[in-house]
Every structure is written in C-alpha cells, then in structure tokens.
Amino acid sequence: MNVRTPKNDTPRSAAIASGVSLLVMAAAAAYSYGFVHDRLIVPDDSAATAANLGTFSALFRTGILGWLLIIVCDVIAAWGLYRFFESVNRSLSLLSGWMRLAYTAILGIAVAFLALALLSAEHMTPNDALAAESIWLSLRVFDFVWSVGLVIFGLHLWITGMLIFQAPTAPRWVGVLLQAAALSYLGVHLYKIAVPEMSLWFSTLKAVLSVPMALGELSLAFWLLLKGGRAAPQPSSIPSDSANAELKASESAS
C-alpha cells in the first residue's frame, strides 16, 4: 500500500490552509470595512459618526470581530505561504512571511483604536462635541496606521509574485496579477500617508485600483485551493498496448 508521508503532504496542506485563509479574510474584510465601516462612518462629520457608533454599537462590535478574524487568517496565511514557497526560494519565502506578520501586527494596533472609538461612543453623553472629536481622532489613527501596514503588505505581495515566477508549476499570470496588486497598494497608501487630504480624483483612482488589488489576492487564493501543491502527473511505467505489440514483433523477427 502506498502511504503518503506528512512531509509529502506539506505543500498541498499549506496551499489549502493559505487559500482558505485568504478567502475567509476577503469575506471578513468585505463585511467589516465594506459594510460596517462604510455604513457607520460619515466622512467629515464627527458628530454623526459618534452618534452612529453609539446607536449601532452592536453592529460596530461585529465589525471589530471581523477584523480579529482577519488577523488570525493573516497569521495562518503567512505560515502557509512560507511553507508552500519554502522549496522554491527559502530566503524570499521567509522574508515574505515576516513581512506579512509585520503587517498583521500593525493591523492589530490599528484595530485597538477601533475598540477605543467604540468604548468612547458607548460612554459619551449626548451632544458631547469633545467626545465626538476624540472618537473621530481614534478612527483617523486607525486609518493612518492601517495604511502604514498596507505599504508593508504591498511589499509582501510583490515578493510573493516573484516567488510565483520562480515556482515551476505556478502560472505566470497569477504573479502578474499579484505584482499589479502590490503596485496598487503601494501607490494608494503611500499617497494617503503623504497627502492626508483626499481629492475627488484620488478617490476615483482608489476605486479603480481596488480591482487589481482584489484580483491579485483572489487569483492566488483560488489557484492555491485548486492547483497548489498537487503533484505533477508522472509518466506511466506500464507499457502501452502499441508498445507491447512492437516488442512482440521484434521478438518474433529475431
């Protein structure tokens, strides 16, 4: 009986763990940032935002739980991607893994400011302008710290794209999409850090660049789940019918 050892299963197991984590993370981010954050945070209106957080604190708590799920998935993805690409280029894979962990740590710091904003909103008195400004400041700090982390995340994606190019069985188009996503993350968040006042054209550009950001990570996730770590088909050692016929003919002639 042919029993596969745990060592042989490691690339496939790492690919599945990474792919599942990336997809769960994408869903959690769509909920926590795309739904909860966009619904409760009113741009340039600290009073309305503070009132929303106080009124819908339970919803905001679920958003924070979503961020915590993202942090856990990021740790799993960092481990899985390192183990998967370790045999391709151990040094680059290790660097990429540490960069993702560094981003995850920075995200954890950013989420702490969301928790601070929530607690402040739950305990503020009505029409407390000072408390509303304090809540708004916590949300601004979250956004700034997260942008710093996403610059590091962009570098992680760029290195992962390089690993894709070096992997003999990986499709190059996944590497291209990853590096396009990396450049998008770097461009958007370096600009946000350097120029805090967002213009209308930049908001449009950010919306456009969100497409390659999503495509890069999702293409990696689906490829890891469907193809990553699968052993390449080996040629059969059993002679085919035509080969057997040729062999018998040659024996008869001799």
Instruction: Dump pLDDT digits (tens) for 60-110.
Output: 999 999 999 999 999 999 999 999 999 999 999 999 999 999 999 999 999
Per-residue b or e along 83-109, where b marks 16 or more CB atoms closer than 10 Å to that residue's CB: bbbbebbeebbebbbebbbbbbebbbe
What's the confidence (pLDDT) of residue 150?
Answer: 96
Q: In this predicted structure, what is the pLDDT of residue 111?
A: 97
Give pLDDT, residue 246: 52
Name residues of the chain where pLDDT drops below 50: 1-8, 232-243, 247, 254
Q: Which two tokens stand for residue 250?
A: 């040659």
Residue 203 is predicted with a pLDDT of 78
What integer pLDDT is reported at residue 44 of this predicted model?
83
Residue 175 falls in which region: left (phi positive, over 0), alpha (psi -120 to 50) or beta: alpha
User: How high is the pLDDT of residue 16?
Assistant: 93
Choose among 47, 158, 173, 59: nearest CA to 114: 59
Q: Give the global pTM.
A: 0.84
Query: Torsions phi, psi of 184, nearest 5?
Result: -65, -45
Residue with token string 């991607």: 81
Determine the pLDDT at residue 107: 97
Q: What is the CA radius of gyration of the chain?
A: 25
Q: Which residues contact 130 (CB under 8 A, 6 or more apart)?
A: none
Residue 206, pLDDT score: 81
Q: Residue 245 CB: number of other CB atoms within 10 A? A: 11
Please report where in the chains the tokens 């496939």 appear, as a residue: 12
Whats the size of the chain, residue-wise? 254
| pLDDT tens figures, 112-136 | 999 999 999 988 877 788 888 999 9
Instruction: Using CB atoms within 10 Å of the CB of residue 79, give its burial: 0 to 12 exposed, 13 to 18 middle, 19+ buried.
Output: middle
